[in-house]
Structure 1
Amino acid sequence: MDKKIFRLALPNIITNITVPLLGMVDIAIAGRLGSTVYIGAIALSANIFNMIYWNFGFIRMSSSGFASQALGARNFPEVMNAFIRSLVIGLGVGLLIILLQYPIGMLVSSLIQSGPESAEHVMTYFHIVVFGAPAVLGLYAFNGWFIGMQNARIPMMIAILNNLLNILLSIFFVFGIGMKIEGIALGTTLSQTISFMVAAAFWWRYYRRLRKYIRKETIWDRHAIRQYFRVNSDIFVRTFLLTLVTTFFTFASSGMGETILAVNALLMQFFMLFSYFMDGFAYAGEALTGRFIGAKNRMYLQWMVRRIFFWGLMVSLAAVVIYMFFPDPILRIMTNDLDIIAYTKEFMFWTVLIPIVGFAAFLWDGIFIGATASTEMRNAMILSSVVFFACYFIMTPLWENNGLWLSFILYLLVRGVTQTFWAKKALRF
């Protein structure tokens, strides 16, 4: 079982680790543009697109869950249905986001609490990167389906390509041509578009033989679509609340001043670094859970859950050691501002807590997605989000930034605990 887990988890860890590294590089580029305002602007900009794209994370998640269950049941027409539905919806939503970019931009602009210079940089970034929306959401469909097909290597190669292109193009536009935040934005958009085209080429190269299983009359079957949107509506609510909490965290930081905004932007990179490591195991849980449920193999399902949690705990303990004893090398990669580094270290205690209280939430999310147990996952997120906002409004007037971080830690803890209690029902053990 460990071999099955790592065959899926390791490529996903490599895939995911490139994402926070990209965020760190973007922060590092912004941190060398001569003002801390750029660091905050990049953090806000990234959160805007997280808020938009994560709300449509159901495109990737449902593609993975439905495809893996169909594969486990050897139902290849439904394997293709899961792919086509997700891809069409992803591209359609991406085009809609482009068409609605100005009202979305006005809403985002009204939420920014930092100064006018920071807001101007954020909106410059937004109106360039928004044109990558169809490519990003189309990639969600491709990557979810590849994972559901037990193939984590193709998403790994696509992610590495995407992030390397993003880094190289951003460095070229900023330091080679002399652009500023618009150079980072242009590098992001071009890399997203190229990566989507590469994903389509991989599908054609390795999976075009499955075209013979396409049944046009079943793709938009009424019962299947009801099931698809029932699961997706639950995942949408879950993901909306996830993005609401993380985005609110950054906007709340912006209301505490440019320095705290920069500090929390740096600290959140520690959370993102851990989350993408843990998501590697969560994605393995998605693929294997769906396959074992589709094949009606309960014994293997239970065995897999136990092993996933063992390895998740080991990774969490390793992260605690690194964050506790070696924060400086990570911080120095992201900025050369010694004053910001010193101030950031005053709040490092909270990042040390993240791996211990948060790892269960990540793993259960993957397992529940593979089982298409969307109701329990949604309810856990609702409860934990209520705890976050209640704690925030009580604690931040008394404890400021520490109160904000306490709220976030409790939010992660409640997610993991509630899903643990509901796991037996969700997985139908």
Structure 2
Amino acid sequence: MSRAVDREIVRLAFPAFLALVAEPLFLLADAAVVGHLGTPELAGLGIAAVVLQTAVGLCVFLAYGTTAAVARHLGAGDLRGALAQGIDGLWLAVLIGTIATVLGVLLAEPLVATFGPGPEVAEHATTYLRIAVLGTTPLLIMLAATGVLRGLQDTRTPLVVAVAGNALNVVLNVVLVFGVGSWSGLGIAGSALGSVVAQLASAAALTAVVVRGARAQGASLRPDIAGIRAAGRAAVALVIRTVTLRAALLVTTYAVTLGDAGTDQEVELATHQLALTIWTFLAFALDAIAIAAQAITGRHLGAGDVAATRAVTDRMLQWGVVSGVVTGLALAAASPVLGPLFTDDPDVQSLLVPVLVVAALGQPVAGVVFVLDGVLIGAGDGPYLARAGVVVLLAHAPAVLLLPVVADGSLGGLVGVWAVFVTVFMGVRLLVLVRRARSDAWLVTGVRTLTP
């Protein structure tokens, strides 16, 4: 049994791993290119990236909720229904993306100002954000289409699109930022523009695959208002869960601006941006098993097989622990050499090493947290995840915001902030998810019908 489970996990998780690693390369490529423009530009990218990641992260339900719903229909033998729900998800992505884009363009400057950066950093952040926000709708479409394919147990297609999209992004970033020949390029604006073009191309490719499948099964491609509204209502719990997690990350970034450990604020913000980007990179890598968990859990529960669901969950937890240990050791070993890849500033390079060591210590916990999160999302246990997210935020926010006040720089400044992030934020997440996984409340079988 365990060998069959392992094969299925590998079949789904390995392509998902490669695709998920490729996704944050959009920001890693931007950071690597922009970092060589200067520290103010990199700090500006850091602020804009947090805003963009929050906006897109709030809509991760387009992938997660769709994966679970489609997988349940697949397990119940209803492929046409699965694809019909997927099309509703695509239209919902277009609707939300359009609204978010308009708001992002109009509110770019005040959003950046909330982080309290200096004038030069604020200018770079606003420039990047106003252009990059145009890629919001394509990104949300990518999330929804990827969720459909994962629910259909297809993680290879998103991988191919992710690799091609990131290759295009790297080329466009280098050319548009630094220019070619006598053209000097667009600077940080070119990095944002290159990412938008790559995101448009990726969204078009994934949408074409889903549309072709829907046509083959006779599912309608027209917007179904009732279906879109039902999908939106069903996603509320996952939105709350995501809001609380993103709020915790925003609070952590804000805490960096409060501390004063004798290091220039631009250096701390730039270092935090690099550390958070690398953390996100590793989080997506560990999340590959969680993606497999969503697809497999949804399919088994859709088929009414509780025993198989339990067995797969136990096995994936073992995978999560091992993966977390491996990524933690790799990050700690690589911490001295990662800084020069992204910036020429020696102060940022020096500060990044201890921050990454702290982040490395949290990787084994992250491995378990991401797997359990994926299992419960696959089970459609959104209401509990929403409540758990509120508990995590209420525990983490006071701890990280009070640190700069009570420590007065004695606990290492940015290093201390990251220590709180790893111990409180990740530790409380671990506790609430393990508690739920040990119960039977989330083991609900059959296809959950969305009612308008």
TM-score range relative to shorter protein: over 0.9
In the TM superposition, what whole-angstrom CA distance separates every residue of 1:317-375 from its partner, at most 9, and x where no partner exists? 11122122232232232223333212222333311222022222211111111111101
**Residues 1:58 and 2:61 aligned together:** yes
Aligned partner (choices 74, 77, 85) of residue 74 of structure 1: 77
For 1:347 and 1:276, the matched residues in 2 are separated by 19
Are the counterparts in 2 of residues 259 and 340 from structure 1 also a CA contact under 8 Å? yes
User: What is residue 163 of structure 1 aligned with on the other side?
Assistant: 166
Aligned partner (choices 310, 313, 319) of residue 321 of structure 2: 313
In the TM superposition, what whole-angstrom CA distance separates every residue of 1:142-188 from its partner, at most 9, and x where no partner exists? 00000001000111111112211111101111122422100000001
> Which structure 2 residues correspond to residues 315-354 of structure 1 after superposition, within 5 A?
315-354=323-362
Give the TM-score of the pair, scaled to structure 1. Answer: 0.93
For 1:357 and 1:289, the matched residues in 2 are separated by 21
For 1:129 and 1:16, the matched residues in 2 are separated by 20
Q: What is the Cα deviation at residue 215 of structure 1?
A: 10
> Which structure 2 residues correspond to residues 88-99 of structure 1 after superposition, within 5 A?
88-99=91-102
Are the counterparts in 2 of residues 231 and 372 from structure 1 also a CA contact under 8 Å? no
In the TM superposition, what whole-angstrom CA distance separates every residue of 1:269-300 from its partner, at most 9, and x where no partner exists? 33112201111111000000000000111121
Write 1 or 2 for the structure with the bigger share of helix: 1
User: What is residue 408 of structure 1 aligned with on the other side?
Assistant: 421
Give the TM-score of the pair, scaled to structure 2. Answer: 0.88
SS in 2 for 1:425: coil
- Greater alpha carbon shift after TM alignment, 76-85 vs 383-392: 76-85
User: What is residue 129 of structure 1 aligned with on the other side?
Assistant: 132
For 1:43 and 1:302, the matched residues in 2 are separated by 41
Q: Mark the CA change 1:101 to 1:327 in structure 2 (over 3 Å): closer, same or farther.
A: closer
For 1:142 and 1:365, the matched residues in 2 are separated by 21
For 2:187 and 2:141, the matched residues in 1 are separated by 28
Are the counterparts in 2 of residues 90 and 134 from structure 1 also a CA contact under 8 Å? yes
What amino acid is aligned across from residue 197 of structure 1 in structure 2? Answer: A
What amino acid is aligned across from residue 181 of structure 1 in structure 2? Answer: I
What amino acid is aligned across from residue 132 of structure 2 in structure 1? Answer: V
Aligned partner (choices 166, 177, 194) of residue 187 of structure 1: 194
In the TM superposition, what whole-angstrom CA distance separates every residue of 1:22-46 from its partner, at most 9, and x where no partner exists? 322211111211x211111111111
Q: Mark the CA change 1:89 to 1:216 in structure 2 (over 3 Å): closer, same or farther.
A: closer
For 1:180 and 1:24, the matched residues in 2 are separated by 16
Provide the identity percentage. 24
Q: Mark the CA change 1:328 to 1:402 in structure 2 (over 3 Å): closer, same or farther.
A: closer
Are the counterparts in 2 of residues 44 and 251 from structure 1 also a CA contact under 8 Å? no
Q: Mark the CA change 1:75 to 1:386 in structure 2 (over 3 Å): closer, same or farther.
A: same
Q: Mark the CA change 1:117 to 1:421 in structure 2 (over 3 Å): closer, same or farther.
A: same
**Residues 1:3 and 2:7 aligned together:** yes
SS in 2 for 1:161: helix
For 1:70 and 1:343, the matched residues in 2 are separated by 49
Q: Mark the CA change 1:251 to 1:19 in structure 2 (over 3 Å): closer, same or farther.
A: farther
For 2:171 and 2:257, the matched residues in 1 are separated by 29
For 2:341 and 2:92, the matched residues in 1 are separated by 38
User: What is residue 386 of structure 2 aligned with on the other side?
Assistant: 378
Count of residue pairs the alignment pairs up: 424
**Residues 1:358 and 2:366 aligned together:** yes
| Unmatched segments (≥5 aa) in structure 1 | none
Are the counterparts in 2 of residues 25 and 334 from structure 1 also a CA contact under 8 Å? no
User: What is residue 203 of structure 1 aligned with on the other side?
Assistant: 210
